[in-house]
Amino acid sequence: MSLFKTKVPVSLENSAQPTRIEKSTSMEGSIEAQADVRIDGYLKGDVTTTKKVVIGKTGRVIGQVRCQNAEIEGYLEGELTVDDLLSLQASAQLYAQIATAKLSVVEGAVIQGKILMKAPNTLKQVTDESAAEAS
């Protein structure tokens, strides 16, 4: 007789843990996630997630970031596409081309680059067109 006769289905869909790059970590490469991503260290590469990206005060990202929502306290150089809300805290430093539907900026944040404000359902089309023009 077995103690484990009943099989219970396990869904990993809603149990995804956030991806974290800690303060003492440097990495080069791309991240694709179905969960939140928090960067407190250094990343040279791209981040794509269907959830939220947080770049903490000690976080530095050089590359392209695409996400649903973003909160930036650290440094970003490159491109940033946010489908919904981009929140920039006072310590944020962005040197980037930005496309977002909503923008919240706390006094003290540094932004250098182009900001494109569009309706949420048009962002994918706009960024795809921009990529085609660059080719």
Residues recorded for the chain: 135
Q: What is residue 35's predicted lDDT score, i.e. its pLDDT? A: 93
Quick one: tokens of 122? 């048009």
Per DSSP, the three-state class of 135 is coil
Q: What is residue 8's predicted lDDT score, i.e. its pLDDT? A: 42
Rounded Cα distance between 126 and 118, Å, is: 9
The predicted-structure confidence for 67-114, as pLDDT tens digits, reads as follows 999 999 999 999 999 999 999 999 999 999 999 999 999 999 999 999
Q: Is residue 11 over pLDDT 50?
A: no
Is-contact 87 71, C-beta < 8 A? Answer: yes
Give the mean pLDDT of 14-43: 90
**pTM score, whole prediction:** 0.79
Rounded Cα distance between 75 and 41, Å, is: 10
The helix (run of H) or strand (run of E) holding residue 98 is strand 93-105
